[in-house]
Amino acid sequence: MKRVGFLLQVKRDKLDEYKAHHKAVWPEMLAALRRTGWHNYSLFLRDDGLLFGYFEAAESLEASLEGMSREAINQKWQEFMGPYFEAISGRPDENLIVLEEVFHTD
- Hey, what domains does the chain have and what are their CATH numbers? 2-99 (3.30.70.100)
Note down pLDDT in tens along the chain; length 106 residues: 999 999 999 999 999 999 999 999 999 999 999 999 999 999 999 999 999 999 999 999 999 999 999 999 999 999 999 999 998 888 898 889 999 999 999 8
Which pLDDT value is given to residue 90?
81
pLDDT at 63: 95
Give the pLDDT confidence score for residue 51 in this predicted structure. 97
Residue 39 annotated to the active site: no
Q: Is 6 in contact with 26 (CB distance < 8 Å)?
A: no
Burial of 106 from C-beta contacts in 10 A (0-12 / 13-18 / 19+): exposed
Choose, from 21, 22, 39, 104, the residue flagged as catalytic.
Answer: 22
Output the pLDDT for position 38: 96
Nearest CA-CA partner of 37 in 13, 15, 8, 69:
69
Residue 56's nearest CA partner among 6, 103, 97, 21 is 6
pTM: 0.91
CA distance 1 to 39: 9
12, β-bridge pairs: none
